[in-house]
Structure 1
């Protein structure tokens, strides 16, 4: 059985590299309650924690070194939450991420079932790049 996850994500990539997803997620059973939602993580806190690592530590974790030379709000980002009353997942994402290929990658990484997902924009998730 696949266990769905909630958390935060970015689409990042060094110059000339293919964009990839940077994700911090947990299984729904380990999520934090936030009103009617289950959620996980904060973009700023996670980025700061990564930026304190060395380039070699980032490579060991398969994290691109963009966290060392850029800010978290520069990259298109979003969040996956679970809405308890509707029994559905919501992907809040920068509009730059709302194309079907990127949404499919997010659905796969968070182990979601596509027919239980709603995609919404949010003014918090507008990147500078």
Structure 2
């Protein structure tokens, strides 16, 4: 069963929290979203240190991350993610984690999820 939610990609592994589509909310008309936030999920799972103890030294925004939503009209997923994650291998891992194929999703980089320090500095200057 396909799901939506928030995620990080660290050391070849997808970490995150998944929400069933039946439990999702329409954040905007026609767009299913989970109520999970990166901050809350990071804290809930203790920085995912069970998966990798080194993550204890990182904050949630230091690791490339993103969010999976579902478009009701198109019947497709939409994945917003750090541009550092846009590769065939990473897309496949994210899609597998959430239970769909990469071809069932629209993939979009989003500055909201960037870990690029130059891009962050530029955002803060604007």
Query: Which TM-score band applies after superposition, normalised by the shorter structure?
Result: 0.7 to 0.9
Stretches of structure 1 that go unaligned for 5 or more consecutive residues are 14-18
2:38 aligned partner: 43
TM-score (norm 1): 0.79
Number of positions where the alignment pairs a residue of Structure 1 with one of Structure 2: 115
Normalised to the residue count of structure 2, the TM-score between the two structures is 0.81
Secondary structure in 1 matching 2:45:
helix
**Equivalent residues in 2 for 1:85-100, closer than 5 Å:** 85-100=73-88
Counterpart CA distance in 2 for 1:71 and 1:52 is 8
CA RMSD of aligned residues (A): 2.0
Instruction: Note the C-alpha offset of 1:127.
Output: 1.4
Name the residue aligned to 1:32.
25
CA distance in 1, matches of 2:71, 2:33: 9
Between 73-82 and 41-50, the greater mean CA deviation after superposition = 41-50
Long gaps (5+) in structure 2: 118-126
